[in-house]
Structure 1
């Protein structure tokens, strides 16, 4: 799968956001196209599943697809590095759309958003208040705030917040930052340490091998800045504010990241009049990142969904 890709730096809050633009076949700059923003997972980058898989294939189906790096990560600006702040990730979408609406070949009335894993949770939260988003798709969307009350924080959110507070104080006084690496260095190390829970192990297979490894897909996070995530909820007020057409894709092999249950919960709670739940039976969270058969299941629904809701 190939596509014509452009590279841009666009204005963010106080720094630039790096993004790739995937153009459709036969792109004609005198036309106006529907556009989709593709949001990468937490710890990922624009060159991985959000761009190389979903961005490329949605572009092949006739859309302009813009794939940004999150602030503080990849080619985007923001200091200190490796902050994973949900409120900032959600704000990024508005800056990206500010850029899209200046492009003469983008129809501002036909802008959609698709998010993968944690990027899907962020996309849900953004769509509730960013009304320039006309249609929303998610692939194994995970509610990062819910996750941060569970296994990443040893099921002790209050204890985690106390540790975060202590670390931030130490760094303010000159101590070296604590930067956590979320994954083992290889599948072999994961096996040796008994880290074989399906989502954790398959994340390692994706990010720590040639299957998905990219220089900016580092899965690093600055521990002292994680408190906001512990107090955040991607789905807060979806019953009232999430009204756009919604297509939710999940795999039915459950794992620690909880994307299956998050997807079912989102489908149940969202106020959207048009909503659909697509279950890729027999596939896991990371199968839907890049494996041909489950990705085809996802795109066989996402492409017609976006064509239906982002057309005149």
Structure 2
């Protein structure tokens, strides 16, 4: 694995480049851009699980930190803006096509959780992606708009964003939201019982998945674009690449199970498949060996066929 950087306009984007076993720079390899979940980083599931395993199978894999997040550049920090996130994917391909050992006609994309939604959006407008895979892919805008499931959740969020943005323009300190409790014990103390929040806390707040840059934070004043985002908008017209969706068979409140079927039905792709991993949840697909191997047992043949 090599640490590399590439540019998204003026920003330096930090990435880990996973190289195949027995790497030979004189050869041409297929490549995959791998994208992390919301609030995550390249050292977590997109790189150290899926990136490493795909490299073992002969792929060059580029796992990157999103703009304004992780080790990548951008101020202020912790911005979750779909436009910036999707441009990161295009710039990742720009980097890959400069590498002599990457076959520019065999580049795919893989996204986990919110990274899956962004991967779909990116593939719709960058035809250099020849195959699209998602693992527990989430339509982040849909999730934000639902909020507490009240019909005005999105409006309430946007009102709060507007108020905070005005305050910051007048010199107030930013408000940085943390999506999760500080520990599983804190989650229990708060009476949190939702499957996805409980399991996310067990992943991000314990040695199971904890990384310095996997902070699950977001800047409230910059959340407006995400609230208005639909990761699958125009998929019925523009998403034609082969598509492999993987979801856990145990649904949680973040909605990746539902979003997986929504994407499957909306995608124009003639070759598309959805794999439901029975008995496994959204967060099991991040780290649990039995779950990730089931996902990879589906993804590897898919990429082998299409790249």
TM over 0.5: yes
Matching of residue 83 in structure 1 with residue 64 in structure 2: no
The SS at the match of 1:252 is strand
Matching of residue 109 in structure 1 with residue 95 in structure 2: no
The SS at the match of 1:159 is helix
**Counterpart position of 2:192:** 195
TM-score by length of 2: 0.98
Shift of 1:159: 1.4
**Counterpart position of 1:164:** 161
- CA–CA separation in structure 1 for the residues paired with 2:157 and 2:148: 9
Partner residue of 2:30 out of 14, 27, 34? 34
**Counterpart position of 1:257:** 254
**Counterpart position of 1:271:** 268
The SS at the match of 1:233 is coil
Partner residue of 1:143 out of 130, 139, 144? 139
- CA–CA separation in structure 2 for the residues paired with 1:95 and 1:56: 21
- CA–CA separation in structure 2 for the residues paired with 1:36 and 1:196: 36
Matching of residue 56 in structure 1 with residue 52 in structure 2: yes
Shift of 1:124: 0.6
The SS at the match of 2:9 is coil
The SS at the match of 2:240 is coil
CA contact (8 A) 1:86 1:232 kept: yes
Partner residue of 2:227 out of 225, 230, 241? 230
CA contact (8 A) 2:147 2:154 kept: no
Partner residue of 1:204 out of 201, 220, 223? 201
CA contact (8 A) 1:22 1:56 kept: yes
- CA–CA separation in structure 2 for the residues paired with 1:152 and 1:304: 39
Runs of 4+ in 1 over 4 A off after TM superposition: 152-155
Matching of residue 284 in structure 1 with residue 281 in structure 2: yes
Instruction: Show CA shifts across 1:273-307 (max 9, x none).
Output: 10011000111000000101111110001001001
Aligned pair in 2 of structure 1 residues 180, 153: CA closer, same or farther (>3 Å)? farther
Partner residue of 1:240 out of 233, 237, 241? 237
Instruction: Show CA shifts across 1:56-105 (max 9, x none).
Output: 00000100000000000011001110000011100110111001000000
- CA–CA separation in structure 1 for the residues paired with 2:73 and 2:160: 27
Give the gaps of 5 or more residues in structure 1.
none
* Matched pairs, number: 306
Shift of 1:152: 6.6
- CA–CA separation in structure 2 for the residues paired with 1:159 and 1:64: 43
- CA–CA separation in structure 1 for the residues paired with 2:236 and 2:246: 19
Shift of 1:166: 0.7
Shift of 1:153: 8.5
Q: How does 1:96-135 map to 2 (within 5 A)?
A: 96-135=92-131
Aligned residues: CA RMSD: 1.0
TM-score by length of 1: 0.97
Shift of 1:151: 2.6
CA contact (8 A) 1:20 1:68 kept: yes
Shift of 1:160: 1.1
The SS at the match of 2:4 is strand
Shift of 1:247: 0.3
- CA–CA separation in structure 1 for the residues paired with 2:147 and 2:156: 13
Instruction: Show CA shifts across 1:158-178 (max 9, x none).
Output: 111111001000001100000
